[in-house]
Amino acid sequence: MNGHTFHIPVMGIGFTIDTPIKVAQYGISSVISLIDDTLIEKMREFHSTRLNIPFDPITEKTEDCRAKRITAYLNLLDIIVQNNFTKLKENALIRNGEFDKYIDMLPDNSPLKQKIREILLTKSGPEILDWVENNLKAGSIDVNIMTKLDKEHFSKNEKLPSEYNDAHAALRGFAKSTLNSSVVLSAGMNPRLYSYFEQLEDFYPNERMEFRKKIILKVSDFRSAMIQGKFLAKKGMWISEFRIESGLNCGGHAFATQGHLMGPIIEEFKKNRQFLINDLHEIYVRALTEKNREVPSHPLNIKITAQGGIGTNEEHQFLLEYYQLDSIGWGSPFLLVPSVVNVDENTNLLLRNALEDDLYLSDISPLGVQFNTVRNNTKDIEKQILINKGIPGSICTKKFVCFNTELTEKPVCTSSRTYQALKIKELDAKKINGIEYKEEYAKIVNKSCVCVGLGMSVLLVNKINDKLDGEGVSVCPGPNLAYFSETVTLRKMIDHIYGRTNLIHRNDRPHMFLKELSIYIDYLKKKIEQSSFPVAPKQMEYFDTFQNNLMDGIEYYKNLFSSLKHRFEDVKYDIINELQLLELKLLSLKPVTV
């Protein structure tokens, strides 16, 4: 039976690192980051101490410490969540308690909610407790691995086998945990990491075709889903869910498509869902047969979910019903729910007051991927203070994105003091002056240590001391947060998601599809403005393809909203009118070719 129709995606490194403890007992699934094993170990110590659970430190001298830290923390989360959920179920006969909270927060049209109320009215106490025990489930404790953050490790200057790489170790840590949940793979395909799945038993089905560990792929389009899905199916790995994320109207790192918009992308999944399942099933069966493993008699289910920019109940229900999605990700709005997400007071105030111009697509990430953030976050302020002192860059204590060997033999991070000092020295040697020097200098020092910044807030919230390079917080909200302006409880945010209340007090918020389209047009405009003169043929081809894809998206939206009945009736005319204005803006973008 259907429970909640939303999930909480991973946010940063530390914002959702213990969110399952706060929401899973209510049947809400959430995702934690496995990037920072040092932070994970500190959180294991924090929660162990809080609950008087014995804590045995796993130091860096411990062999395979990264994987073992992750396993130990996930096992602790599993214990805490199960204990919380057991207490909730035991209180099923007590009114106005946690069990009533569980029921009240479910969607009003949920079959599960209706069934629970029926059971409470018609069954005796023991029968109620028995039904609750056998039919209710806690939310899933899912984990996120950024596949490209797979730094190699060395011992006495000798490179260790690939299974000790960062992403490999994180995956192994999850696989060895007691969790029965999913790993969300994001940031694109890593063939070596994907091949490593074959060595991990929990990702194979048992004789009942059940998985202890499942795979969720975060994708930007259908083509990516097919390529990655087939690669893993050939390894005997089934994708249980494709999680579609908006290319630009999202939080954190933004992986722009070539002008492909969210609506048409989800439409393609809707039309080709069974084809996708059947195609992957055929490859999957062949791979399992070759491995002499249990083979499914029929194609297994694949969930299709979406996230990025959803902000109203009407949008939420539309995605579920029209596109037949299984769940919707609500991320950035939860940054204003301190009982769920770790956000310090200064950052909370900044986010509450942030408007459209404050939330922007930046170049601060050392990964070289554009990054959604908010102006005047404390990490950026801290960064500017160091620039003003003449010592730009950070000390680089985490080293998760040490990939650059442009100026050094050993890989370094582009936000590090080492790299930026060498890059500035190289710039000075060019002996250029004026505006050109300032622009090049700004590009160098703009990179920020998000490894520390994205994990700092949880330390501040829980008053955990750490010897790090400053205490600045990097935060990664999507553009949608501009329309949310108050700190709220979990209950109130869920009431907003399900249409029982409204947290958006402005009447000028654009539909999520229009917002994404507008961001993509601005993105293309900036790319054109930054292009060399005259535009090279290959670059021109890229711009033409991008623009044509956006035009196709506009036509799709015109037809979609014109044909919808009993949806968006009060704003349908405004949406179509805005589409026409955005079309004119797009057509005005003309790269100079001669």
Instruction: Label residue 429 by pLDDT band (50, 70, 90).
Output: very high
Find out whether 342 and 14 touch, Cβ atoms under 8 Å. yes
The pLDDT of residue 592 is 56
Q: Report the pLDDT averaged over residues 27-37.
A: 98
The pLDDT of residue 129 is 96
Find out whether 239 and 215 touch, Cβ atoms under 8 Å. yes
The pLDDT of residue 594 is 47
Q: Report the pLDDT averaged over residues 449-458.
A: 96
Residue 324's identity, in one-letter code, is Q
Residue 246's identity, in one-letter code, is S
Using CA atoms, how far apart are residues 382 and 493, in angstroms rounded to an integer? 32
Angle in degrees, CA 305, 307, 312, rounded to 5: 110
Q: Report the pLDDT averaged over residues 391-407.
A: 94
**pLDDT tens-digit profile of 118-153?**
999 999 999 999 999 999 999 999 999 999 999 999
Exposure b/e, 514-541, CB count within 10 A at least 16 = b: bbbbbbbbebbeebbeebeeebeeebee
The residues with which 145 forms a beta bridge, in sequence order, are 185
Task: Kindly list the distances between the CA atom of residue 554 and the CA atoms of 47, 212, 377, in Å, as whole numbers in the listed order.
Answer: 49, 42, 35
The pLDDT of residue 565 is 86
Burial class (CB in 10 A: 0-12, 13-18, 19+), 52: exposed
Q: How far is CA 394 from the centre of its chain?
A: 25
**pLDDT tens-digit profile of 211-263?**
999 999 999 999 999 999 999 999 999 999 999 999 999 999 999 999 999 99
pLDDT at 534 over 90: no
Q: Report the pLDDT averaged over residues 457-476.
A: 89
| pTM of the model as a whole | 0.96
- In this prediction, what percent of the chain has a pLDDT beyond 90? 92
> Residue 512 is encoded by which pair of tokens?
């999520």
The residues with which 30 forms a beta bridge, in sequence order, are 8, 141
pLDDT at 469 over 70: no
Using CA atoms, how far apart are residues 153 and 565, in angstroms rounded to an integer? 57
25 CB-near residues (< 8 Å, 6+ apart):
81, 84, 85, 87, 88, 98, 102, 138, 139
Quote the mean pLDDT of the chain: 95
The pLDDT of residue 95 is 84
The pLDDT of residue 570 is 86
Return the SS3 of 204.
coil
Which run of H or of E encompasses 46?
A: helix 37-50
pLDDT at 377 over 70: yes
> Residue 535 is encoded by which pair of tokens?
């535009």
Find out whether 183 and 192 touch, Cβ atoms under 8 Å. no
Q: Any idea which residue has 């703009």 for tokens?
A: 446
pLDDT at 558 over 80: yes
Q: Report the pLDDT averaged over residues 179-194.
A: 97
Using CA atoms, how far apart are residues 312 and 504, in angstroms rounded to an integer? 8
Return the SS3 of 47.
helix
Q: Report the pLDDT averaged over residues 347-356.
A: 98
